[in-house]
């Protein structure tokens, strides 16, 4: 845990004004321009699809012989399943996403060794650990992200609630209870006419429940994704607290009396059709959703805060922070296309033009130490950066779980629990058994 805080502090310090000598020039301009190359990118981050598309177009204008095609699968879709389908076809992408040590094992035959790339020595300490094996590096970290309970500051202010002071489970429960009562009494109706509940919880999205919510608990049982990956079993040491966290979110939705309805709530209903239109005041999400909220209502986006997501009595006042995903290059592509793929990633993350795109257009907190004064300006990224600076963070470990376990086992079991089809004891027992079975 101390190592995590240290390495991310180094990373964020670089993005918050640390002047460093980079020696970086306009990366990506080499002999690939002498041959025609095609780079198909298959990625999952829907929030940056448009900005990434623009970045590829900018690159192609400067590199006439390179064609880049972008395909995005994410949000409400299972990227892992889509990637497996994609890689089983004859139309495999040159660039795709991997999550951590389990993916490195699963996709080993498709992963190009990136250890000789110029960006390697500029990645913040420790951020390559989960995509390294036998001294080789197989992924470039996309960004640094953090998540918690995003909340509408205007609604909280109107309710007389100081969101910035909320840290413990009890404080959050009491504040949400007060807000829910005011909503039900119609006290906020004039100012916020469509506000119907404190929260929206997209139980349909097993990545939200089985990955992000569960990680608040698993991140205290395991110190890193690598430790989780190396474990043959899971104890659910803080399973009761995870249940409390799920119950907390369910009871403050408009579906509290009919929780099974939450199994139909997806990402778009939570973010664009819930929080952004002020139908709800709080959602469990991270700084990556800022562009989507802004596209619906810029004022709501600007007035969004982040409450630490609590594990009752265990980890309170912290937000989970880590690398969400990595860029990898397909070792099975032609030499020309592979080189073009590497050149594009170098350009995007290490050229002066690319760095500005990463920070200003994609809105990423850069996972590199050579970005000087460049740092995202949106309020959510600033909050994440401040948590890193303060050391009030918890690790991301779900990428070390067995393949598909977080979504297809735990996430599905949580759906059954919310629907009243399984007890919590059954969720824990079956999820533990699935982990152990996958490790045999």
The tens place of each residue's pLDDT in the chain, 440 residues long, gives 545 555 555 455 444 433 333 334 344 444 444 689 999 999 989 889 999 999 999 999 999 999 999 999 976 678 888 999 999 999 999 999 999 999 999 999 999 999 999 999 999 988 999 999 999 999 999 999 999 999 999 999 999 999 999 999 999 999 999 999 999 999 999 999 999 999 999 999 999 999 999 999 999 999 999 999 999 999 999 999 999 999 999 999 999 999 999 999 999 999 999 999 999 999 999 999 998 999 999 999 999 999 999 999 999 999 999 998 999 999 999 999 999 999 999 999 999 999 999 999 999 999 999 999 898 889 999 999 899 889 999 999 999 999 999 999 999 999 999 999 999 999 999 999 999 999 98
Q: How far apart are the first and last CA of the chain?
A: 28
**DSSP class per residue in 182-202:** HHHTTTTTTTSTT--EEEE--
What is the spatial distance between Cα 314 and Cα 359, in angstroms, rounded to a whole number?
A: 34
Please count the helices (runs of H) and the strands (runs of E) in the chain.
Answer: 18, 13
Cα-Cα-Cα-Cα dihedral sign, residues 174, 218, 213, 260: negative
Residue 377 burial (10 A CB sphere; 0-12, 13-18, 19+): exposed
- Distance CA(61)–CA(84), nearest Å, equals 32
pTM to 2 decimal places: 0.85
The tokens describing 378, both together, are 């949106």
Identify the bridge partners of residue 151 per DSSP, sorted by sequence position. 282, 305
How far apart, in whole angstroms, are the C-alpha atoms of residue 417 and residue 405? Answer: 16
Enclosing H/E stretch for 306: strand 304-307
Q: Which of 339, 16, 76 is nearest to 202 (CA)?
A: 76
H helix runs in 114-209, sequence order: 153-158, 169-184, 206
Distance CA 97, CA 111 (A): 10
Identify which of 73, 44, 35 has the alpha carbon closest to the alpha carbon of residue 336: 35
Q: HSE, CB side, 13 Å, CA atoms: give it for residue 72.
A: 12
Q: Which domains does the chain have, with CATH numbers?
A: 21-144+323-371 (3.40.190.10), 146-321+395-439 (3.40.190.10)
d(CA 30, CA 117): 13
Specify whether the CB–CB gap between 222 and 397 falls below 8 A. Answer: yes
């Amino acid at each position: 845990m101390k190592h995590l805080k240290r390495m991310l502090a180094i990373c964020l310090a670089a993005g918050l004004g640390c002047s460093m000598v980079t020696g970086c020039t306009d990366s990506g301009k080499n002999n690939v321009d002498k041959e025609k190359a095609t780079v198909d990118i298959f990625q999952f981050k829907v929030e940056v699809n448009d900005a990434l598309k623009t970045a590829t177009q900018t690159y192609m204008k400067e590199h006439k012989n390179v064609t880049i095609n972008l395909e995005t699968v994410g949000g409400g879709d299972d990227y892992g399943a889509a990637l497996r389908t994609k890689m089983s076809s004859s139309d495999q992408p040159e660039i795709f996403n991997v999550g951590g040590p389990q993916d490195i094992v699963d996709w080993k035959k498709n992963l190009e060794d990136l250890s000789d790339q110029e960006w390697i020595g500029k990645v913040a300490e420790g951020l390559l650990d989960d995509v390294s094996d036998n001294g080789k590096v197989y992924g470039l970290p996309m960004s640094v992200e953090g998540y918690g309970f995003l909340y509408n500051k205007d609604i909280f202010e109107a309710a007389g609630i100081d969101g910035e002071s909320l840290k413990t489970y009890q404080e959050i429960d009491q504040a949400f209870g007060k807000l829910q009562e005011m909503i039900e009494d119609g006290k906020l109706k004039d100012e916020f006419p469509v506000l119907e509940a404190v929260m929206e919880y997209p139980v349909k999205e097993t990545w939200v429940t089985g990955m992000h919510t569960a990680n608040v608990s698993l991140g205290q049982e395991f110190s890193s994704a690598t430790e989780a990956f190396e474990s043959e079993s899971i104890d659910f040491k803080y399973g009761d607290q995870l249940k409390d966290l799920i119950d907390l979110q369910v009871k403050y939705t408009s579906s509290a009396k009919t929780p099974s309805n939450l199994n139909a709530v997806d990402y778009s209903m939570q973010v664009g059709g819930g929080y952004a239109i002020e139908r709800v005041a709080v959602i469990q999400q991270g700084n990556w959703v800022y562009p989507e909220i802004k596209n619906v209502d810029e004022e709501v986006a600007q007035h969004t805060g982040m409450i630490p997501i609590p594990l009752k009595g265990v980890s309170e006042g912290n937000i989970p922070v880590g690398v969400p995903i990595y860029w990898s290059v397909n070792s099975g592509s032609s030499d020309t296309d592979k080189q073009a793929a590497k050149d594009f990633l170098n350009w995007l993350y290490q050229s002066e033009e690319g760095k500005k795109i990463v920070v200003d257009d994609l809105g990423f907190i850069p996972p590199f130490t050579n970005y000087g004064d460049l740092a995202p300006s949106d309020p959510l990224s600033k909050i994440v950066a401040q948590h890193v600076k303060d050391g009030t963070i918890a690790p991301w470990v779900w990428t070390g779980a067995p393949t598909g376990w977080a979504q297809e086992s735990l996430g599905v079991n949580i759906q059954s629990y919310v629907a009243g089809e399984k007890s919590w004891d059954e969720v824990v027992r079956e999820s533990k058994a699935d982990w152990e079975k996958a490790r045999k």
